[in-house]
Amino acid sequence: MRYIFIVFILLFSQGADAKAYVKYIEAPQTVGKTRLEVLFWDIYDAELIAPSGDWSTEKPFALRLTYLRDFEGKDIASRSVDEMRELGMQDERKLAKWFQQMQRIFPDVKEGNSITGIYNESQHSVFYFDDEKVGVVEDPEFSKWFFDIWLSEQSSEPKMRKQLLGIK
């Protein structure tokens, strides 16, 4: 009985934020994993999760970033806007609106914290900080631009994209 209790505790406590995507994604499996490194610094580990490990923008998926350094939420939001702009988003009003939304949603992170972004069936973005839901952006256009930061062929990190998508 003691062994079963320990196994239950281990299952319950492992990757609490991993549970965030279970209700959105049928048969969730990792598509790919990678680490973002800038110069000498490790920034975050990224993991793409999709139904049966088969990613498509036609189905819900999740992107989990586990931070390896401390960052302020406003800096994460600002960098996201910069990346969208670099991808070609030119509507500054929308970018300003999205920045405000992300600034409200994204908390300050410490090393080891995760932010999971989920692209749901409605093409909305649902965000979790570790195991706690912290916000939703109900704008399919935002979702497209946001997740394109990592998944678009025009991503500023093409090697990272390939690793996330499991492309050799």
Domain interval for residue 137: 16-165
- Full-model pTM: 0.87
Cβ atoms 154, 88 nearer than 8 A = yes
Cβ atoms 119, 62 nearer than 8 A = yes
Question: Considering its fold, how many domains does the chain have in total?
Answer: 1
Cβ atoms 62, 116 nearer than 8 A = yes
Confidence of residue 32 (pLDDT cuts 50, 70, 90): very high
Q: Is residue 5 part of a domain?
A: no
Q: Is residue 6 part of a domain?
A: no
| Length in residues, the chain | 168
- Give the number of other Cβ atoms within 10 Å of residue 21's Cβ: 23
The CATH number of residue 91's host domain is: 3.50.70.10
**pLDDT tens sequence across 48-93:** 999 999 999 999 999 999 999 999 999 999 999 999 999 999 999 9
Q: Is residue 60 part of a domain?
A: yes
Report how far residue 166's alpha carbon sits from residue 146's, in angstroms, rounded to the nearest whole number.
Answer: 20
2: pLDDT strictly greater than 70: no
